[in-house]
Amino acid sequence: MQSEGASAVVFGGASGLGEATARRLAADGARVVVADLAAERAAAVAAEIGGVAVATDVTDPAAVEAAVAQAAQAPGGLRIAVVSAGLGTPAKLVGRDGPTPLDAFARVIEVNLIGTINALRLAAGAMLANDPDERGERGVLVATASIAAYEGQVGQVAYAASKGGVVGLTLPIARELAPRGVRLVTIAPGLFDTPMMAGLPQAARDSLAGTVPFPPRLGEPDEYAALVAHVVANQMLNGSVLRLDGALRMAPR
């Protein structure tokens, strides 16, 4: 799939990995809808890249439909959809005061897993209405998991479970959509320099960066965006989960 002239939507596109992706796709010639709950920041990013912002909660079907419809109205229809919206709220199964309230787990799973499914189903539905391009392709979906899906740490009960769910849905969705020319690839990032990480003290950031075998640093959002761009361009990438982690394997704590 060529980014040049394509219509794209990036869920979670107002910051972090999603913002970098929105900027990269726009630089590659795509028309980008920046869909994010942070409406003002989404509007600012969209203005800078010549895109359109849509205030979007990925757990709200109507909001996601509006973002998809905005992208799908472009000539050729929606061709690229990236889902990077998510929460990383930590919680142990049992805390100092006893079992953690169920709502703490439910919200993370609702956003990270159900929200991803919601965005994928509506974006895929729009893509299936497209005419195939010269290579038989109608669209490309990119989801975001985490290496926590494989090596979740203490306190990542809901986060690891939600990202494990994203890993698990990748192949069945890719198999379902393959006969119609729509691909799905999931990226599982390691430790990246995102707003979530920026809230940590510098000493903690340095300590985490030092756990990455090579390169011994935090990943840069532009590196995630570069992989998205490659997934879009490389038609043989389908149904796979790509670890982007510098060979990191997370310790228990």
User: For residue range 4-29, what is the model confidence (pLDDT) as tens digits?
Assistant: 999 999 999 999 999 999 999 999 99
Phi then psi for 37, rounded to 5 degrees? -70, -30
Q: Which residue has the higher pLDDT, 200 or 104?
A: 104
User: What is the three-class DSSP state of 171?
Assistant: helix
Count other Cβ atoms within 10 Å, centred on residue 122: 22
On average, the pLDDT of the chain sits at 95
CB of 185 closer than 8 Å to CB of 239: yes
Residue 158: how many CB atoms within 10 A of its CB? 27
Domain count, the chain: 1
* 9 DSSP 8-state letter: E
| Residue-number span of the structural domain to which 50 is assigned | 7-242
Active site (catalytic) residues: 159
- pLDDT-wise least confident of 40-49, 62-71, 88-97, 159-168: 88-97
In a domain, 121, yes or no: yes
Q: What is the pTM of this model?
A: 0.96
pLDDT digits (tens, 9 = 90+) for 149-193: 999 999 999 999 999 999 999 999 999 999 999 999 999 999 999
Residue 55 lies in a domain: yes
Is residue 248 assigned to a domain?
no
Q: Is residue 249 part of a domain?
A: no
Higher pLDDT, 165 or 207: 165
**Residue 202 pLDDT > 90, yes or no?**
no
DSSP state of 180: G
Could you tell me the sign of the dihedral formed by the alpha carbons of 50, 41, 159, 194, in that order? positive
Q: Report the distance separating Cα 207 and Cα 211, nearest Å.
A: 7
- Measured from the Cβ of residue 73, the count of other Cβ atoms closer than 10 Å reads 12
d(CA 17, CA 23) in angstroms, rounded, equals 10
Residue 199's pLDDT band (cuts 50, 70, 90)? low
Q: Give the amino acid at 192.
A: F
Residues belonging to the chain: 253
pLDDT above 90: residue 36: yes
Predicted local confidence at residue 201, as pLDDT: 75
Separation between Cα atoms, residue 127 and residue 114, nearest integer Å = 20
Whether residue 203 has pLDDT greater than 90: no
Output the CA torsion 233→237→239→241 (10° steps). -100
Residue 251 domain-assigned (yes or no): no
The enclosing domain of 102 has a CATH number of 3.40.50.720
Indicate whether 247 belongs to any domain: no
The answer to whether position 38 is within a domain reads yes
C-alpha–C-alpha distance, residues 11 and 13, integer Å: 5
Residue 1 lies in a domain: no
Predicted confidence band at 64 (pLDDT cuts at 50, 70, 90)?
very high
Tens-digit pLDDT profile for residues 106-120: 999 999 999 999 999
